[in-house]
Amino acid sequence: MKRTLATAVTLVALPLTLLLPGSPAAAASGADEPSPAPGVRAGADTYQRSADLARELGGRSAGSYLDTRTGDLVTTVTREADAELVRSRGGTPKLVERSGTRLREAATALEKGAKIPGTSWGVDPRRNQVVVEADSTVSAAGYATIERVAGTLDGAVQVTRVPGEFTQEVAGGDAIYGGGSRCSAAFNVSNGATRYFLTAGHCTDSVANWSASSGGPVIGRRTGSSFPTNDYGIVKYTDGSAPAGHVNLYNGGYQDITSAATAVVGQALKKSGSTTKVTSGSVTQTDVTVNYGNGNYVYGMVKTNICSSGGDSGGAHFAGTTALGIHSGSGGTCDNGVGSAVFQPVQEALTAYGVDVY
């Protein structure tokens, strides 16, 4: 997204980057659906079907994902009656061992017994497991604690060591300035005729007034912020402008954003950020918890294998004209074009503030 002329605010990357290891989780032995780099496209009907099935099945399903070979939406179930329900809704069922309720119980056990700085965990429905990643700061004793807790959960948890460090870093961003920080916005949103932009909560948490240039006039004021736990904030335009609702593609063009949806594991998406510009990848985990080394933590995130780096935080995660999330964290490197990025689901922020993309 970009504001034009006088204020020229590029709505993309935040400098207050939450860093994550630059490596996707390793595939579990016997997993039939590897994490693809390109992913597959998800249409509006796929988003809707996934959301509808999630509501109908509730904890009986461990989630849905897109089959990288066929593009079909696959929904996990633990009993044949639910498999028939999925088929009747136009989906493809997959019988698995563990329900969503069982995986949530496993995540709760990790929260109680293995909440160690430098770790993250999230659900991968393709593996039918909760995947735990421990960064380089986790000690041998800490790693042993995680493995011990995982060992009591009857195979519901996969534990892996990843390089890098879960941390927060201030880095350069091209967009808005406030309180000595330089940040950017993700999506322009509205409530009636009132215009706002969404950004990461770890930026708005400590800064109220935002300008388009360092020391420039204020263009917006924070009206809401949620961090830690979540990672989103909202800023109301106070300069009377009505900026366009599109994302900067860094090639002279912009992607119009007309809707918002919940990401599906296996789907292709892009990230627009000021450091690594536009990068592509796919969704690898949902319902992700990240425990940063500085004591901050976030829940309910989405993990991808998108390349990103310091300064991309707050950028836009999107698929075509659909807004998916606000960039929250990254590995800080893009070695061989492979990385790791976590985003805050945008729909949670839209609902919290009663606004819509446009």
Structure tokens at 143: 């790693």
Q: Which pLDDT tens digit goes with each residue over 161-175?
A: 988 777 544 332 346
Point out the residues that are catalytic: 202, 231, 313
Return the pLDDT at 175. 65
Q: What is the pLDDT of residue 336?
A: 64
104-120 residue pLDDT tens: 999 999 999 999 999 99
**Residue 310 confidence (pLDDT) above 60:** yes
Give me the mean pLDDT over the 347-352 stretch: 98
The answer on pLDDT for 136 being more than 50 is yes
- Mean per-residue pLDDT for 342-352? 97
At residue 38, the pLDDT reads 65
pTM metric for this prediction? 0.85
Distance CA 159, CA 129 (A): 10
Q: Which two tokens stand for residue 292?
A: 């940063």
Which is more confidently placed, 81 or 33? 81
Gyration radius from the chain CA atoms = 20
Give 350's DSSP letter.
Answer: H
3-state helix, strand, coil in the chain (%, to 5): 20, 40, 45
Residue 187 has pLDDT above 80, yes or no: yes
* Termini Cα distance of the chain: 11
Tens-digit pLDDT profile for residues 276-304 = 889 999 999 999 999 987 788 999 999 99
High-pLDDT (> 70) share of the chain, %: 84
Closest of 326, 329, 323 to residue 186, by C-alpha: 326
pLDDT at 36: 40
